[in-house]
Amino acid sequence: MLLDTAWRGDPRAVGKLISTVESGRPDDERAVAAAAFPRTGRAWVLGVTGPPGAGKSSLVDRLVTLLRHRDERVAVVAVDPSSPFSGGAILGDRLRMQDHATDPGVFVRSMATRGQAGGLARATVGAVRVLDAAGWPWIVVETVGAGQVEIDVAQASDTTVVVVNPGWGDSVQAVKAGLLEIADVLVVNKADRPGADQAVRDLQLTLDLALEPPEWRPPVLCTTATTGEGIDGLWDAVERQRAFLHDGARLTRRRTARLAGELRRLVEAAAAAHASRRVSGPRFDALVADIAARHLDPLAAAERLLAE
């Protein structure tokens, strides 16, 4: 019932399903995933990531406006806890995103940080899947880049846009965090500030250093989200990368590799959770006491714990 309503695109039903995914209750999460997944694969997922303060939210807002001018419906999932979509944002950001607040063609959802880092990435992927199943053709996922979670989320995108600012610090941080390797499009935002050209050159130079020239070399663009400067160019780059992926089996290969990565992480996370449940509590303590008393050796104890 709720599912059918959601698949018809009802935003309240969609919101409820996302909350279910976010809840972390395994049975509910599985049920929603099982219902949503067969309906997915139609949306184009655009990931936008980069260091805090790079202006990702403003950029996303500009992209939403651009898509709405073309009459495209768009959903935004914000994983940054300091983004305009959560309580931590500055007033200006809030007001700006409110341009879209009453627009039924825009769906906005912020993802709350859950207990484990891995949980947030998983919930975000789940939320994107619900939106895809509910028929949103464009889904923009905004994350604050740096950690593994953000890379996992960014990798779940069809187009990954990495945003940095002029200045050496941002570019170096992006390189160190491995963001250059996942970027399809590189953006130097706040390009009205000094050093933007140098940042573009630095990033181009870093791309030149790749051992193997990639099939797709990410273009490096300048934008100024506050004025809208460069947004059309950014969109052209996204469209070129989309055309590139739609050529031959590339999109299928990329999405299959992404699903394989997701399955790998799910299995590894479940195994780690299985192990961590076993290495604490009274049973574990009793075995340690047995080992300390030399009644049992550690290898035998480990086998017992895992077999139970």
Residues that bind a copy of itself (CB under 8 A): 29-30, 33-34, 36-38, 40-41, 252, 255-256, 259-260, 262-264, 266-268, 270-272, 274-276, 278-279, 284-285, 287-289, 291-292, 294, 297-303, 305-306
Q: Quick check: helix, strand or coil at residue 159? A: strand
Contact 108, 74 (CB under 8 A): no
Task: Please state the three-class secondary structure of 104-158 as a single string.
Answer: CCEEEEECCCCCCHHHHHHHHHHHHHHHHHCCCCEEEEECCCCCHHHHHHHHCCC
Q: How far is the CB of 26 from a copy of itself (least distance, A)?
A: 9
The least distance separating a copy of itself from the CB of residue 290, rounded to whole angstroms, comes to 10
Q: Which is nearer to a copy of itself, 102 or 276 (CB)?
A: 276
Q: Residue 263 CB, nearest distance to a copy of itself (Å)?
A: 5
Q: The tokens 């791309």 sit on which residue? A: 207
Longest alpha-carbon distance in the chain: 74
Output 212 or 308, the one with its CB closest to a copy of itself: 308
Nearest residue to 43 (alpha-carbon basis) of 77, 10, 13: 77
* Cβ nearer to a copy of itself, comparing 169 with 261: 261
Nearer to a copy of itself, 40 or 226 (CB): 40
CB of 129 to a copy of itself, least distance (A): 8
- 97 in Cβ contact with 163 (< 8 Å): no
Query: Which letter does DSSP use for residue 37 in this model?
Result: G
Nearer to a copy of itself, 236 or 303 (CB): 303
Per-residue buried b or exposed e for 138-150, using 16+ beta carbons within 10 Å of the residue's own CB? bbbbbbbbbeebb
| Cβ(132)–Cβ(41) below 8 Å | yes
Q: Shortest gap between Cβ of 63 and a copy of itself (angstroms)?
A: 28
Q: In this complex, which beta carbon is closest to a copy of itself, that of residue 228 or of residue 298?
A: 298
Phi, psi of 220 (to 5 degrees): -110, 120
Nearest approach, Cβ of 303 to a copy of itself (angstroms)?
8
d(CA 240, CA 6): 32
